[in-house]
Amino acid sequence: MKKVYARPAYCMNCHLCEVNCIVAHSRSRDLFRAYKRENLRGTARVIVEERLPLSVAVQCRHCDDPRCVAGCISGAMVKDSETGIVYCQEDKCVGCWTCVAGCPYGAIRPGEKNGRPVPLKCDLCREAGEPACVAGCPNRALVFEERRAGA
């Protein structure tokens, strides 16, 4: 399946992927409303890990055999059998955070939406097509492509 891959050689640590992610997952899809009205600062589903001068954007790897799905006690976390995308059916989440604890990449963080728990994880912008982090990366440090297993 097509996934987001980081190219650390070109990641310049601007964290704009996080900004674009937040806007793409906001109700308004507007930068100012997302940050100023919806207060979504810090809720990015992609996190730039830094060990300067190196930095790299990390998000869900959409594993073939995802531990978050296996561990989910409410059946909220699922892997789409067609697209392979691992995502959370937010109305079913009970906030036990087994997914957070189980993720080997640290790519899921606990969050909340309208007072309800919701795991912050990449859904590859499954409704939009191209992930917002990739589309908005100013230095093409993120690519969305098909790679062979293990590549």
Residues that bind another protein (CB under 8 A): 9-16, 18-20, 31-32, 35-36, 41, 52-53, 138-141
Alpha-carbon gap, residue 31 to 20, rounded angstroms:
8
- Provide the CB-side half-sphere exposure for 61 (13 A, CA): 13
Q: Which is nearer to another protein, 69 or 120 (CB)?
A: 120
Strand-pair partners of 142: 6
Question: What minimum distance in Å lies between the beta carbon of 12 and another protein?
Answer: 4
Q: Which is nearer to another protein, 13 or 113 (CB)?
A: 13
Cα 121 to Cα 8, 45, 113, 139, 148: the distances in Å are: 21, 5, 13, 23, 23
Q: Which is nearer to another protein, 14 or 78 (CB)?
A: 14
Question: What minimum distance in Å lies between the beta carbon of 35 and another protein?
Answer: 4
Question: What minimum distance in Å lies between the beta carbon of 33 and another protein?
Answer: 11
Q: Which is nearer to another protein, 31 or 73 (CB)?
A: 31
